[in-house]
Amino acid sequence: MAFHPRGSKMSVQLRFYEELNDFLPAGKRKRQFDHPFSCGQTVADTLAQLGVPERSVDLVLAGGKSVDFSHVLRDGERVSLYPVFESLNISGITAVRSTPLRKIRFAAIGLPALARYLRLMGFDTVAGKQPLGDEFAHMVKAECRVLLMRHAGLKSRREILRVWSPASSRPRAQLIEVLRRLDLLRSVRPLSRCVVCNAPGKMGSRCAGCGRSYPRSIHLRRLQRFIDLVLGSEALKP
């Protein structure tokens, strides 16, 4: 590699993905672009130059290898930067932080049974009715929720970045689809959230959110059988 005196200008190829492009000027969005840098400059320095907050970046690849924010850039290097991954658990990949930003939260439109099943598995899930209203859409964006719905036309809502439509019309199959597609098996926390109001809390007692009482006997055993059936599905096996 050629020697470059400290302070001399070199160039790195940058590519930002998904919502990270919102921090960039129009001419640099959704494309690879050359960015000049000085000798000794790090990924963190570059993010500060471009106005991209570190807290929004979940994975940095330099030359195809995962690096952290202290990585010193090299002339001609290609650096790819990614936001939080909904569809992949990168806890064993990213060098940016010990715990990835990935925290899946859902909003379900016209899918009340799927919303209850996701809560049963411990996932923060709010439910809404069709059609999708502006207030609900703004909440989905503000809280970075994954929107689940059956109508592809809702994808035209530009303010919502994460929209996914289950292929099946059956709620249990939809739940299995979501768990498989978003790699959520390691994130399942059964019976840790109220299936009615979505408040966190161990099922088997009275919900602090809505006051619903969950008996410990037959009802909970039935729910546990359902959970075991879903988690034991062939579709979820490696």
Selected residue with higher pLDDT from 95 and 42: 42
* Residue 118 pLDDT > 90: yes
pLDDT (tens digit per residue) in 38-80: 989 999 999 999 999 988 888 899 988 889 999 999 999 999 9
pLDDT at 156 (0 to 100):
47
Tokens coding 148: 């689940």
pTM over 0.75: no
Contact 148, 164 (CB under 8 A): yes
Taking the C-alpha atoms of residue 38 and residue 212, their distance in angstroms, rounded to an integer, is 61
Contact 205, 214 (CB under 8 A): yes
Tokens coding 63: 């030359």
Taking the C-alpha atoms of residue 222 and residue 218, their distance in angstroms, rounded to an integer, is 6
Tokens coding 103: 């925290």
Greatest mean pLDDT among 30-44, 152-166, 211-225 lies in: 30-44
Taking the C-alpha atoms of residue 53 and residue 19, their distance in angstroms, rounded to an integer, is 12
Task: Write out the E strands in 146-236.
Answer: 146-148, 163-164
The answer as to CATH 1.10.110.30 being correct for domain 9-82 is no
Q: Based on the number of CB atoms within 10 Å of its own CB, is 64 exposed (0-12), middle (13-18) or buried (19 or more)?
A: exposed
Taking the C-alpha atoms of residue 37 and residue 7, their distance in angstroms, rounded to an integer, is 9
Selected residue with higher pLDDT from 216 and 12: 12
Q: Where are the domains of the chain?
A: 9-82, 106-236
Q: 106 - beta bridge partners?
A: 125, 146
Q: How many CB atoms lie within 10 A of CB 176?
A: 21
Q: How confident is the model at residue 34 (pLDDT cuts 50, 70, 90)?
A: very high
pLDDT at 37 (0 to 100):
94
**3-state secondary structure string across 215-238:** CCCHHHHHHHHHHHHHHCCHHHCC
How far apart, in Å, are the Cα atoms of 237 and each of 27, 33, 39, 176, 228?
A: 44, 40, 48, 11, 13
pLDDT at 95 (0 to 100):
55
Q: What percent of the chain has pLDDT over 90?
A: 44
pLDDT at 79 (0 to 100):
96
Average pLDDT over residues 21-46: 94
Q: 81 - beta bridge partners?
A: 16, 60
